[in-house]
Structure 1
Amino acid sequence: MSALDLVIAGGDVLLPDGLHRVDIGIAGGRIVGLHAPGHAPNATEVIDATGQTVLPGIVDIHFHVRAPAYPERGTVASETRAAAAGGVTTLFEMPISKPCCSTPAEFTRRRDHFSENAVIDFALYAAPGDLTEATRDEMIRLGAIAFKIFTTPAPAGRGDEFDGLAFPDEADQLRALRLLAGTGRPVVVHAESASLLAHFAALAASLDPAEAATHGLSRPAVCESVAVAKLLVMNMSAQAKLHIAHVTSAETVRVLRAFAGTSDFTAETCPQYLFMTEEDVARVGVYGKVNPPIRHQSDQDALWQAIADGVINYVTTDHAPFSRAEKEASEGDFPNAPPGVPGIEFMLPAMLDAVAGGRLTLKRAHELICSNGAKRYGLYPQKGAILPGSEADLVFVDLLGETVMAASTLKTHAREVAHLLEGRRLRGCVTRTILHGKTVYHQGEVTGQGGQGAFVLPLPSE
């Protein structure tokens, strides 16, 4: 009888202290040993990783599929298949659904639905709902990885999707921070000022709705930076484990710098803000609309500098698929177009391209899209590391290969609205994804099955 289920041999392996040439021994879905090349015990299966770089599977802490609502936009099966193709082995699903995931009953329904259909591992955010201790405590008992709120009102006609999630009133924002402080769970905030959004939307009403610049002018950077500054002031007293979602602007970077050390807060940005500008949105129209908007080159430059300085330490996809019919129905109408783009298959290749261009080290790129998130949310080293005892979630990448983004090869259901990605050529590609020691993606084909992914809980705090 073989001592191991699987050995991965011959690859360059990213360990916490950098790249090493070691063989990885796997049994029972976990890493049980790191061995000098050729010295691993016998295994039932050996995968030759020669010429490949082996990374811990990516942990995407900001993802939307909205299931079981809106299957026309994508399903748990379709979007977790896409995640596997993008080297993502664990995703954190946001609470926007229909109805909102703001009650224990809805949380349970979504958890069970994902368990039946997910190809990769998943965790679920909860909305804090009625802001009571009873709801908070039950969500934690059910396994919520974190909580999410918006500082904006619910979009028109979507009240049930945002009930218990949208808190435009600052008093409620402070109540939420205080309620969730001390739970050990991060509080993630989509931060834009409700009053400033209303003000600038009114000013932009006379502008051409077909212009990408109109969207940017209706939600300028000051809406984000003011909301973030107010949250950080509130958190000086609340002392929640605060995380600012999808930072887009140089203004907000300056705010984050100014408040450094005042409370336990972190911030993320997304590939669409790091690799694209409003000019790209103008080229593709409403297919490039996201909230907050993709901004200007100066903002992109500031985000990269914030990453270099350690002001921003997380990069997430904010994957948010919509149907082709929904985007087409809004062509030429930025104010009313649905906001969101698919990005789960873009993030890792884009970061590998940044590594190839010398903007990041491989270790830093991986921290941004994986291990930092695993640590912040209480999953490390179960996730985010290649160490004995870690789950055998791995991704093979060819640093010398190339990824060409094209609708014909994307796995997301939203491939037909991935206009921002179409035709992009990126240095580096994903060749294999392994979940719990089993291959779920290899050379263009998703081999994982629905129900293979597990519901992920944060590790007990010490």
Structure 2
Amino acid sequence: MAATVVRAGQVCSASAEGRLDIRIEDGRIAAVAPHLPAEAGDHVIDASGMLVLPGLIDCHVHFRDPGSPERESFPTGTAAAASNGVTTVLEMPTSDVPVTTAERIEKRGRHLTGRSFVDFGLYAGAGRGSLDDVAGCASAGAVAFKTFTHSPTAARAAAFEGLWAVNQPDLLCTLQAVAATGRVHALHCEDDSLLEYFASKDDASAPFGVRHRNSRPPVVEQSAVAAVTALALETRSRIHLVHVSTNHAVDIACAARDIGVDLSIETCGHYLTLDDRTLDRFGSHAKCNPPLRPADTREALVRAVRDGRIDIIASDHCSYTPDEIAKHSDDPQHALPGLPGIEFLLPTLMHLVTAGGIPMRQAVACLTSAPARRFGLKGKGDIAVGYDADLVVVAPDAPAPFSLSADYHASGSKNAVYLQGVDLRGRAMTTLVRGVPVVAGGELVGSPDHGKWIRAE
């Protein structure tokens, strides 16, 4: 089988940095060095003037397949991922049939095999009513578990069944059950009782942005982070705090880490690049939970990434149909939360380097080697001999602005109007998944039957 040589790119990964060539054989990296010779029959990718990064790993996506493919199917979501240099995605268990049993993991994995342009892993849910199935989900290959610390609204109850634990005893038992599997336990931290309290204070005459911010102030998140980390210390859990939105939540988590809690901290591109003025401007198009925070909080989160206190960046890609977004455009209590960000993850990464002052190698690690280590994705997240040849060749200065007229791959990307005016640059010119081109010349060329289901061992 002919090899591939990626030549003369500016490589940046945990193990390699500088102008280097990469030789790929049988889907894996065979050599990384300056001036590797090409042999007869080798395919050469000229990366001169380009960045060459490990394929990005998005450890937090919601593609709603097979539950609600009209929102985002796996083919559309993973096509968008590949187009932005994402070569592995980990999908959350929220669906019209939530993934809380081994049978459901098997069914979902079989359904998605042949429908993914990139490699993928599946979370399982854990919470009230599903703890007897946790061990079985681990045996079926769940890469991690997910729990919400607040109850769902009536409209979303079916998709969240078995995924939440709101009181301390339920949460303790949930943490214990997942800890027994040894898997990472991802938690959405918002205090249920405080959400009820602030909802009771809602002023229906206030603007959309004000109402949403006031319904979920920072104390809602910070209180839940404190409770989760205290229980995690007791249960020896391996916790992963998803989409952390405030610097004080980071402070609490880091204090817990200092006394021995095994935890990782994730934030999202939107919390690092946008602030609450975006919510005021775009309303239901910019609603996410937790909400976008003030500019000084955003700046503090960027510093926390720069200081190494935040480990991982993810998209939390979550799509809805335009009609669903428009339905409650004047009512933040019922508007659906979530932003479609995976199609903009790579330019967001570049924006954090150029505008946020985060060193390139550190920013790249947050989307490659850090999630690979945390979720046990062997052979992923680095450019080193023996690793999967998951690579992205990036034109770093190529504009990638949001546009309503663009031909996006993800169903929800046209709803990302909250990115209007953000200077986004950086395009994936080539994306390789295990050595196979999925994007070439900036265009999607791969097949949805290439992506492999990654089961945890």
Check 1:337–1:110 CA distance in 2 against 1; reply closer, same or farther (3 A cut).
Answer: same
Letter in 2 for 1:225: Q
Match of 1:231 in 2: 228
Mapped to 2, the partners of 1:97 and 1:413 lie a distance apart of: 17
Matched, 1:336 2:334: yes
Letter in 1 for 2:223: V
Structure 2 residue matching 1:189: 3-state secondary structure: strand
Letter in 2 for 1:289: K
Tell me, yes or no, if the aligned pair for 1:129 and 1:135 is still in contact at 8 Å. no
Deviation at 1:158, TM superposition (A): 2.3
Mapped to 1, the partners of 2:7 and 2:86 lie a distance apart of: 21
Q: How does 1:11-30 map to 2 (within 5 A)?
A: 11-30=9-28
Please list the CA deviations of residues 87-119 of structure 1 after superposition, one character each: whole Å capped at 9, or x if unmatched.
Answer: 100000000001111122221121111112111
Q: Among 382, 391, 395, which residue is 1:394 paired with?
A: 391
Tell me, yes or no, if the aligned pair for 2:131 and 2:174 is still in contact at 8 Å. no
Deviation at 1:24, TM superposition (A): 1.3
Structure 2 residue matching 1:334: 3-state secondary structure: coil
Stretches of structure 1 that go unaligned for 5 or more consecutive residues are: none
Tell me, yes or no, if the aligned pair for 1:349 and 1:426 is still in contact at 8 Å. yes
Please list the CA deviations of residues 332-375 of structure 1 after superposition, one character each: whole Å capped at 9, or x if unmatched.
Answer: 11111110110002222112122123611111011111210000
Please list the CA deviations of residues 378-417 of structure 1 after superposition, one character each: whole Å capped at 9, or x if unmatched.
Answer: 114x000111111111011122332222231422101231
Tell me, yes or no, if the aligned pair for 1:405 and 1:425 is still in contact at 8 Å. no
Deviates more, 1:13-22 or 1:153-162: 13-22
Check 1:361–1:409 CA distance in 2 against 1; reply closer, same or farther (3 A cut).
Answer: farther
Tell me, yes or no, if the aligned pair for 2:127 and 2:147 is still in contact at 8 Å. no
Tell me, yes or no, if the aligned pair for 1:7 and 1:43 is still in contact at 8 Å. no
| Structure 1 ranges of 4+ moved more than 4 A | 129-134
Matched, 1:257 2:257: no
Structure 2 residue matching 1:449: 3-state secondary structure: coil
Mapped to 2, the partners of 1:444 and 1:45 lie a distance apart of: 18
Deviation at 1:168, TM superposition (A): 1.2
Please list the CA deviations of residues 268-325 of structure 1 after superposition, one character each: whole Å capped at 9, or x if unmatched.
Answer: 1101111101101111110000011111112112211221222211111000011111
Mapped to 2, the partners of 1:209 and 1:168 lie a distance apart of: 29
Letter in 2 for 1:244: L
Deviates more, 1:131-140 or 1:113-122: 131-140
Check 1:18–1:208 CA distance in 2 against 1; reply closer, same or farther (3 A cut).
Answer: farther
Q: How does 1:123-142 map to 2 (within 5 A)?
A: 123-128=121-126, 135-142=133-140
Structure 2 residue matching 1:395: 3-state secondary structure: strand
Matched, 1:5 2:7: no
Structure 2 residue matching 1:11: 3-state secondary structure: strand
Mapped to 1, the partners of 2:161 and 2:320 lie a distance apart of: 21
Mapped to 2, the partners of 1:165 and 1:141 lie a distance apart of: 18
Letter in 1 for 2:238: K
Letter in 1 for 2:48: T
Letter in 2 for 1:155: T
Query: TM-score, with normalisation over the residues of structure 2?
Result: 0.95
Letter in 1 for 2:89: L
Give the count of matched residue pairs: 455
Deviates more, 1:158-167 or 1:368-377: 158-167
Q: Among 319, 322, 330, which residue is 2:320 paired with?
A: 322
Letter in 2 for 1:280: T
Query: TM-score, with normalisation over the residues of structure 1?
Result: 0.94
Letter in 2 for 1:345: E
Structure 1 residue matching 2:44: 3-state secondary structure: strand
Mapped to 2, the partners of 1:326 and 1:134 lie a distance apart of: 35
Structure 2 residue matching 1:294: 3-state secondary structure: coil
Mapped to 2, the partners of 1:440 and 1:60 lie a distance apart of: 17
Q: Among 204, 211, 218, which residue is 2:208 paired with?
A: 211
Stretches of structure 2 that go unaligned for 5 or more consecutive residues are: none
Tell me, yes or no, if the aligned pair for 2:427 and 2:442 is still in contact at 8 Å. no
Structure 1 residue matching 2:45: 3-state secondary structure: strand
Q: Among 342, 345, 349, which residue is 1:347 paired with?
A: 345
Q: Among 379, 384, 406, which residue is 2:381 paired with?
A: 384
Mapped to 2, the partners of 1:417 and 1:399 lie a distance apart of: 25
Please list the CA deviations of residues 218-243 of structure 1 after superposition, one character each: whole Å capped at 9, or x if unmatched.
Answer: 11110000000011111111110011
Deviation at 1:179, TM superposition (A): 1.3
Match of 1:299 in 2: 297
Match of 1:51 in 2: 49
Mapped to 2, the partners of 1:395 and 1:192 lie a distance apart of: 35
Matched, 1:417 2:418: no
* Superposition CA RMSD, Å: 1.8
Tell me, yes or no, if the aligned pair for 1:21 and 1:37 is still in contact at 8 Å. no
Mapped to 1, the partners of 2:126 and 2:312 lie a distance apart of: 23
